[in-house]
């Protein structure tokens, strides 16, 4: 059986490590002539926590709808920055579970995502989206660690 990568999902939270993951996903998409889909999962339970795309020109997003729109705009900007046609998928919910659900629904061959490399108490309290995805994904998963970790 020959492994084939035809559909890649880049799961992004717009962090620096997600940008690195995006570079890897783009390289793989070019190499395998695969479809690339950029996915962002908006977690409504944490929308008011500081995140760079929740910050509007005049301060932090004032409401949930504004935060959602800023997230959609950030996802479109990311997709537009690639030298490849990229479909965007913006969904809401628990990030790990939503990434797995979308990968199943789209019959993805590969998920690419960054991992923040938390350990110990911080990993326990924050959780690990990457770990959940690796354990439950219906396809291969490539995790990108921060440089120097």
Q: What percent of the chain lies above the pLDDT cut of 90?
A: 57
Domain 7-144: top CATH class: alpha beta
Give me the pLDDT at residue 124, please.
Answer: 44
Angle between helices 95-106 and 129-136 (to 10 degrees): 30
DSSP for the chain reads: ------EEEEE--SSHHHHHHHHHHHHHHHHHT-EEEEEEEE-GGGTTS--GGGEETTEE-SSHHHHHHHHHHHHHHHHHHSSS-EEEEEEES-HHHHHHHHHHHHT-SEEEEE-----HHHHHHH--HHHHHHHH-SSEEEEEPPTT-
The average confidence (pLDDT) of the chain is 84
The residue-averaged pLDDT of 6-28 equals: 94
Q: 60-64, 81-85, 98-102, 128-132: lowest mean pLDDT where?
A: 60-64
pLDDT in tens, 87-112: 999 999 999 999 999 999 999 999 99
Q: Is the pTM of this model over 0.75?
A: yes
The structural domains of the chain, with segments of one domain joined by +, span 7-144
pLDDT category of residue 66 using cuts at 50, 70 and 90: confident
């Amino acid at each position: 059986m020959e492994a084939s990568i035809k559909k890649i999902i880049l799961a992004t939270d717009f962090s620096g490590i997600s940008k690195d993951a995006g570079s890897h996903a783009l390289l793989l998409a070019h190499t395998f002539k695969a479809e690339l889909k950029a996915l962002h999962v908006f977690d409504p339970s944490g929308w008011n926590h500081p995140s760079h795309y929740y910050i509007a020109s005049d301060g932090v997003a004032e409401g949930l709808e504004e935060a959602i729109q800023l997230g959609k705009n950030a996802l479109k900007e990311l997709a537009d920055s690639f030298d490849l046609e990229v479909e965007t998928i913006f969904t809401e919910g628990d990030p790990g579970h939503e990434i797995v659900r979308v990968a199943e629904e789209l019959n993805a061959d590969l998920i690419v995502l960054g991992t923040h490399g938390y350990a110990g108490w911080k990993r326990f309290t924050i959780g690990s989206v990457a770990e959940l995805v690796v354990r439950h994904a219906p396809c291969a998963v490539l995790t990108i660690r921060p440089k120097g970790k």
